[in-house]
Amino acid sequence: MITNALSVARIVRLAVLSLGALLFLAPYIFMVSTAGKAQSEIFSSSLSLIPEQWSYIENFSKALSRVSMTTLLFNGVVVCALIFVIQIVVAIPCAYAMAKLKFRAARAMMVLVMLGLLVPIHATALPIYVAFDKLSVLNSYAALVAPFSISVFAIFLFLQFFRAMPDDLIHAARLDGMSEAGIVARVIVPNAWPAITAFAIFSVVAHWNDLFWPLIVVTNQDYATPPLGLLFFRAAEAGDDYGALMAATLIITLPLVSAFLLAQKRFVEGITMTGLKG
């Protein structure tokens, strides 16, 4: 009886989960399918997931040849890596100081971090754009990276995580002769991997997929990030060649999807851990 009831509950659960997964995956599946269809088939009235005539090779070669996909991917990697590294280098010492050191400005900093969390990028986009224009740094990696170098979200996330770390650990490190920088490097960071991984997901996903900011500061194809590159591709080359467009989209989403699948376990650990800790 019990096993029966359990298995019924299991089936219901699995069904609900599968339905949800299908709902979320549908656009992606449709994209994969479209990437393999010829132009005529895409615009035909019949809707089928499996292409009648496999044109993957044709579409992918179009996508790869008409736009320099390697430049796009390289830009994406460089921009995301720079943003992530700078965010970590800034946010970890800052969060450590706010969580574990006593100083007068701590309260004011906390208020500023909270305010920072409330202000969306769209509100500050115009002033930053004007400033970058005056400094003539538009169309550069600096323009893509600089506005995101200080992440209040990262500070907030690490702050919560570091607060849960025992004070005695830091006291012990101090007595053992470590400087504050030494404590951050030798004690805090090695014990903060779950939080760093969790933040890495948020940061890399957000900036890899970001279209808004690159669209504002980049007009030169050489600095285009993948989503912006797609836009250029669509506007200039493909027109309504959705097969090639979907193939290109597939290529630029592939790095994130494969990275997630490879490190799935660690990512989930990281998110649940920081989630539980506040």
Closer to other proteins at the Cβ: 173 or 246? Answer: 173
Query: CB 112 → other proteins: shortest distance, Å?
Result: 24
Using CB under 8 A as the binding rule, whether residue 175 contacts other proteins is answered as yes
Q: Which of 50, 168, 261, 275 binds other proteins (CB under 8 A)?
A: 168
Select from 31, 109, 169, 271 the one that contacts other proteins (CB under 8 A): 169
Say whether residue 172 binds other proteins (CB under 8 A): yes
How far apart, in whole angstroms, are the C-alpha atoms of residue 181 and residue 271? 26
Q: Which stretch binds other proteins (CB under 8 A): 1-9, 84-92, 107-115, 161-169?
A: 161-169
CA 91 → CA 65, 135, 201, distances in Å?
A: 40, 26, 16
Q: Helix, strand or coil for residue 228?
A: helix
Q: How many Å apart are CA 114 and CA 150, to the nearest integer? A: 13
DSSP tag of 67: T
Can you tell me which of 40, 53, 191, 220 binds other proteins, judged by CB under 8 A?
A: 191
Indicate the DSSP class of residue 219: -
Binding of residue 187 to other proteins (CB under 8 A): yes
Tell whether residue 173 is a contact of other proteins (CB under 8 A): yes
Helix locations, 46-120, DSSP H: 56-66, 69-100, 106-118
Please give the C-alpha separations between residue 207 and each of 84, 92, 182, 263, in angstroms, as whole numbers.
9, 19, 30, 19
Q: Is 176 in the site for other proteins (CB under 8 A)?
A: yes
The answer to whether the CB of 76 falls within 8 A of the CB of 225 is yes
178 binds other proteins (CB under 8 A): yes
Minimum separation from the CB atom of position 151 to other proteins (A): 25
- What the block records as the tokens of 112 is 């500023």
| Residue at 203: amino acid letter | S
Between CA 121 and CA 214 the distance in angstroms is 12
Among the candidate windows 27-35, 134-142, 151-159, 174-182, which touches other proteins by CB under 8 A? 174-182
Report the residue number, 18 or 179, with the smaller CB distance to other proteins: 179
CB closer to other proteins, 60 vs 162: 162
Among 39, 78, 129, 174, binds other proteins (CB under 8 A): 174
Nearer to other proteins, 27 or 177 (CB): 177
Q: Distance (Å, rounded) from C-alpha 238 to C-alpha 185?
A: 49
Binding interface with other proteins (CB under 8 A): 166, 168-169, 171-178, 182, 186-187, 190-191
